[in-house]
Each structure stands twice: as structure tokens, then as C-alpha cells.
Structure 1
Amino acid sequence: MGLRRGRRLTDSPEFERVYKQGSAYRGRLISVHAFPNDAGGPRLGLSVSKKVGNAVIRNGVKRRIREIFRLKLPEIRGERDFVISARPAAAEAAYEQLEAEFEKALRKLGDRD
């Protein structure tokens, strides 16, 4: 079961708005930017550059981050757009490490207790 279309950011202007106007958490594995939306719930945008690795590695990182976000949806308060940028270290990170860093970002950004 994946993350449904209504929970994803797809347009460049949406990404730009979150980057420019939102708050940010910068960790070793990921950076998380968040900004309030009026879309009826949390939405996710992903940015995984070629610095992370080849296409197979980048897609694996995206799948893991998407799944972490999907499973954490019930714990996320409010209606916010999140843009998660993977850092090169994310390619070697275990699922649990990515999950822990995302939870830390949520606490810092005030989206979770």
C-alpha cells in the first residue's frame, strides 16, 4: 500500500513555497521543510539528488522515506506540507535510522509530541 496521490506534492511552485516560507530541520540523513497548507491533511514532497547515488539507490531511498511518512501519518498533527531532501548519507542508512531522524524532525518542527 503506497502513499495516495492526494498526499503528495507534485508541482514546483508547491515545493518552492515550502522551501521559502516554511520552517526547516537539517539532519545528517535528511532535511525536512514544513509549511501549513489548506489541503485537508499532511502532504509529502521528496527531493533526492544524484549526489545520493544512481537511480536504483535514489528510488530505494524514496520508497523508504515514503513508507515512513505513510506510517507516521496518524501521528502528524495539523495540515502541513513536508518536503524531505535526502542527503548522500541516506543511501547507506538503515530504515530505522531514517525513521528516527524523521521522528526527530517532527518533534523539532512541532508536529508531534
Structure 2
Amino acid sequence: MSGRSGTRITDSPDFDRAYKNGMAYRGKLFSVHAFGNELGRPRLGLSVSKKVGNAIVRNRVRRRLREVFHASLHELPGSLDFVVSARPASSDSSVEDLKAEFRNALDRFSKKR
């Protein structure tokens, strides 16, 4: 797979596996579930419900979360799937706020491993 498409989780069973069996971080802006994969590369799955806002707001949140993930790729373990579920507070957050919260999640996961 080329480009960023190889870093996205799109299949429901992959989301379910992360929710049921993965490590969880629950923050103010979003929650993150992380679960190992056998692909040798980190992947991102996003869940942004209508509680976050209208379609324009939800798409902005998705773009920002993808940006945070791709900016953090060099810090991520190579074989984890990350499922991020946005909370309504994420709609008013800056990219810097989202990055700080994602770093908190990574720190928590590194302590659990």
C-alpha cells in the first residue's frame, strides 16, 4: 500500500478488537484504544460521533487527529493499532491541544507495556 491509506483502520473487526482487548486511555478531548497488530506499522482508526458537532466540525476534528497521528509516527511503536474516539470537547481544541493529549496517551501506553 502506498501513501497514508496503509495507516488507516477501516474494518469494523479491527475497531472491535481494539475496543475489547486493547489498552485504553480516556482523556478530556478523546479516548484512545491501542492493540497490537502483525503488520509492523502503526495504524489509526477514528470515531467521531454527531455529539462532536455537524459534518463540517467532525471532518475538521478528523483532519486534525490524522495530522496529530502522522506528526507522531516517529514516536509510535511499529505494530499497534490506535482507535481514537473524539469527545465533544475536541471540536474547540487546537492541534497543539490534541497533540499534547495524544502524547499523554502514548506515555500511558509506554508505562503499561
Q: Distance in 2 between matches of 1:53 and 1:86?
A: 11
Deviating above 2 A after TM superposition, structure 1's stretches of 4 or more consecutive aligned residues are none
- 1:49 maps to 2:49: yes
Residue pairs, 1:28-107, within 5 angstroms: 28-107=28-107
- The structural deviation recorded for 1:79 is 0.7
Match of 1:10, SS state, is coil
Report the aligned-residue RMSD. 1.1
TM-score (norm 1): 0.93
Match of 1:39, SS state, is coil
Q: Sequence identity of aligned pairs in percent?
A: 59
Match of 2:106, SS state, is helix
Match of 1:25, SS state, is strand
- The structural deviation recorded for 1:93 is 0.8
Unaligned runs of 5+ in 1: none
Q: Distance in 2 between matches of 1:48 and 1:66?
A: 12
Aligned residue-pair number:
109
Task: Name the structure with the higher helix share.
Answer: 2
For 1:22, the equivalent position in structure 2 comes to 22
Match of 2:110, SS state, is coil
Tell me the amino acid that sits aligned with residue 77 of structure 1. Answer: P
